[in-house]
Structure 1
Amino acid sequence: MNLDTRIKFRHLLCFLEIARQGSFAKAADAVAISQPAISKTLKELEDLLQTRLFDRDKSGVELTPAGVRFMRYAAPCVQALRDGVSSLRSEEHEPPQVRVGVLSTVESLLMPEVLCRLNERHAALVVSVATGPGAHLLAQLHVGELDVVIGRMTDSPQIQGLMFEHLYSEAMTLVVRPGHPLLGQVPTDRASVSRYPLVLPLAGTTIRKHADSLFVQCAIEPALQRLETLSPTLSRRYVLSSDAIWVAPRDAVLLDIREQALFELDLGVREPGGSVGICSNASLALPLPAQWLCDVVREVAASYREG
C-alpha cells in the first residue's frame, strides 16, 4: 500500500500524545487543543488507516494490537523529524546527551554508582533523568522522549512492544527505624505487623504488586493507615520519625541497613524478587551516549549478581 499523503504530522502527534497520556483529555491539554478536536483528529487517522488504534473505556484508552504496531513506526518518524530540526537549531559543540527513565527501585543505589562511573569516562556528557511510575516512563519511551528506562517493569502493560533486558533480581523487604517496637523479634510476629502504619509503592505499579504478594504469602492483613509513594526520600524521612513500616525494594534501603539507619524485619521468608532491567525501544536506534550508559549499567548490575 502506498503511503497516504492525507496522513499529516498533526495526526501522528495526536496519536502519540494520546498513547503517552492514556487519556483524550490529558492529551488535548498537552497539545493545546480541545478534546473534541483531538478526538476528531484521531478519527481521521483511524479512517485513513482503516483500523481502530485505541480501545476506550471509563478508565481511559489503551492501544489496540494495531495501535502497538503503528506506534513502532510513528514514534521513530516523529522523533527523526524532531532530531533533524534540533540539529539545525542547536549549537555546533553541544555536549552529547542521554535521556533515561529511572524507577524508584534503582534510584538510590544503582544509578548513583552508574553516574559516577560515567563521569569518570566521559568528560562531556549530559544525563537527563526522569523519575515516576513505570507506566508513565514507558509511555515516554514508546514515543521517543526517553532513550531507555531502568528498573522493575516487566508486569506493566505498557512494556508491550518494547525490548527488556534482564539484569538481576531484587527482593522486597520491610524496614523500620532504630528502636522500633517490632525489633528484637526473630522472626517478627506477623500478626503484629498489621498494627503499624505502612509505607507502600503506589497502587498499580509493578513493585506494589510484589509488595502485595509478599503480604499474601505471609498471611498479613495490611494496616488501613498507609502512605503510598514512590519517593525514597519521603519514605525514609517518614519512617525515621514514626513507627511506620516501609515495604521497599532492598536496593533502595541497602545503604541504610548497612549504616544501621534502618533495620530489616525478619518475616521468616524472603520474597523471590522481581526482574530489574533495561527497557528500550527496538524501533529506535540507540544513540551512542545511551549505549555508554547501558554498558555501565550492565557493569554495575554484574556486581549485584555476584553479591
Structure 2
Amino acid sequence: MELRHIRAFLAVARRGSFTRAAEELLITQPALSRTVAQLEEVLGVELVDRSARRIGLTGPGQEFLPHAEQIIAALDRGIAAVRKDLAVRLGFSWLLPDPWAQRAMSGFEADVGSSVTLVRCDDLLQALRERAVDVALVRGPIRHAPKTARAVHLYDETRVAVCSESNALAHRERLNWTEVPSWPLVVNTRSGTTGPWSFPPGEGPEQVIETGNFDEWLESVAANRGIGVVPEVARRRISHRAVRFLPLTGAPSSPVHLVHLPGHRGHLLDRFLEAAVAAAAP
C-alpha cells in the first residue's frame, strides 16, 4: 500500500465521482480507477460501490475512510512541521488584487503552516525563469512565457480608463472602449494589461508611449503624455491628485493568472495553488 492509493481513495470518497476525483488529482480516470482497484486488492475488500449512478462507499469503505483521513492528516502535519520555515515566493508587479491576496495567503498559511513571501518584480516571467520567484501573478495576456510554464486562471478584472486632470477627458463621465485607440496610449510594456496587443491588427492606437514599470506608467499618465487603461482595482487603491479614473464601457475583461514552472517546489506550491483558487471562488 502506498500513499497514492490512500489519496486516490479519499478523492473518490470526497468527490463521489471518479471523473471529478481524477480532475482534482490531475490524473486520467483510468489511472485513478486502477489505483483504487489496487488498494482494494491489497486490502482484500471492495471499498467503492460502483453500481449506482453516484459513486458511494461500501461498508468496509465507510469503515476505512476515517482511518485513511487520519493517515493523510498526520502526514500533512508532519510535512508542515518540517516546512514551517519554508515560504512560497509570490511575484507581483503592482497592487495585489484584494481581497483575493489576503484570503489566499491566510488560507495557505493556516492550512499548511508555511508562509508566503511577496516579491515585487517589473519583469515577472523573467523572475520566474531565474527562479527568483516560485509563482507569478500575471494580469492580462501571458506573453513570452517559458515554454514549460503552466497558468492557472483565477478570475477576470474589469477595466477602467485613466487620464490626467488636465486632459480633455477629465470632464467626461465615461469612455467607450472603441474610443481608446483615438488617444495616445501609455503602455507598461513589462506588466501592463492593455496595449497594442489588446486590439485587432490595424485597429490599435496610432500613438503609443512605452514605459517600463507601473510607477513610470502612472506618472506618464499624470503628466498628460496620454491615457491609460488598467484593472478597476487601481481606482480603489491609488490616490493621485493628478489623475482621474473613468468607467470604461464595452471593454473586454482582463484575466488574472498564476504562472509557475511544473515540478518546482512540488507539493508546497500545489497547496498554494489550491488555496489561491479557493480564494478566487465567488
Partner of 2:40: none
Q: CA deviation at 1:262?
A: 3.3
Q: Aligned partner of 1:251: which letter?
A: V
Q: CA deviation at 1:277?
A: 1.7
Partner of 2:258: 278
1:101 aligns with 2:91: yes
For residues 163-242 of structure 1, what are the structure 2 equivalents within 5 Å?
Answer: 163-178=150-165, 180-185=167-172, 188=175, 197-202=184-189, 205=190, 207=192, 210-216=194-200, 219=203, 221-223=205-207, 226-231=209-214, 233-242=215-224
Q: CA deviation at 1:278?
A: 1.8
Q: Are the equivalent residues in 2 in contact too, given 1:199–1:229 (CA < 8 A)?
A: no
Q: Which runs of 5 or more structure 1 residues have no equivalent in the other structure? A: 1-91
Q: CA deviation at 1:98?
A: 1.8
Partners of 2:106 and 2:198 in 1: CA distance:
34
Partner of 1:149: 136
Q: Which runs of 5 or more structure 2 residues have no equivalent in the other structure? A: 1-81
Partners of 2:140 and 2:204 in 1: CA distance:
25
Do the aligned partners of residues 252 and 301 (structure 1) sit closer, same or farther apart at CA in structure 2, a change above 3 Å counting? farther
Partners of 1:93 and 1:107 in 2: CA distance:
25
Number of corresponding residues: 199
Do the aligned partners of residues 193 and 283 (structure 1) sit closer, same or farther apart at CA in structure 2, a change above 3 Å counting? closer
Q: CA deviation at 1:220?
A: 5.4
From the CA coordinates, give the structure whose radius of gyration is larger.
Answer: 2
Partners of 2:201 and 2:252 in 1: CA distance:
8
Partner of 2:73: none
Q: CA deviation at 1:253?
A: 3.9
Over aligned residues, Cα RMSD in angstroms? 4.4
Q: CA deviation at 1:196?
A: 5.7
Q: CA deviation at 1:200?
A: 0.7
Partner of 1:298: 277
Do the aligned partners of residues 165 and 220 (structure 1) sit closer, same or farther apart at CA in structure 2, a change above 3 Å counting? closer
Q: What fraction of aligned residue pairs are identical, expressed as a percent?
A: 16
TM-score by length of 1: 0.48
Q: Are the equivalent residues in 1 in contact too, given 2:122–2:191 (CA < 8 A)?
A: no
Partner of 1:250: 232
Q: Are the equivalent residues in 1 in contact too, given 2:92–2:121 (CA < 8 A)?
A: yes
Do the aligned partners of residues 185 and 107 (structure 1) sit closer, same or farther apart at CA in structure 2, a change above 3 Å counting? same
SS in 2 for 1:262: strand
| CA offsets 1:179-202 (integer angstroms, 9 cap, x no match) | 642134466488986786532121
Residue number among 229, 241, 245 corresponding to 1:263 in the alignment: 245
Q: CA deviation at 1:131?
A: 1.2
SS in 1 for 2:102: helix
Q: CA deviation at 1:130?
A: 4.2
Partners of 1:100 and 1:111 in 2: CA distance:
13
Q: Aligned partner of 1:228: which letter?
A: T
SS in 1 for 2:195: helix
Q: Are the equivalent residues in 2 in contact too, given 1:190–1:218 (CA < 8 A)?
A: no
Do the aligned partners of residues 107 and 272 (structure 1) sit closer, same or farther apart at CA in structure 2, a change above 3 Å counting? closer
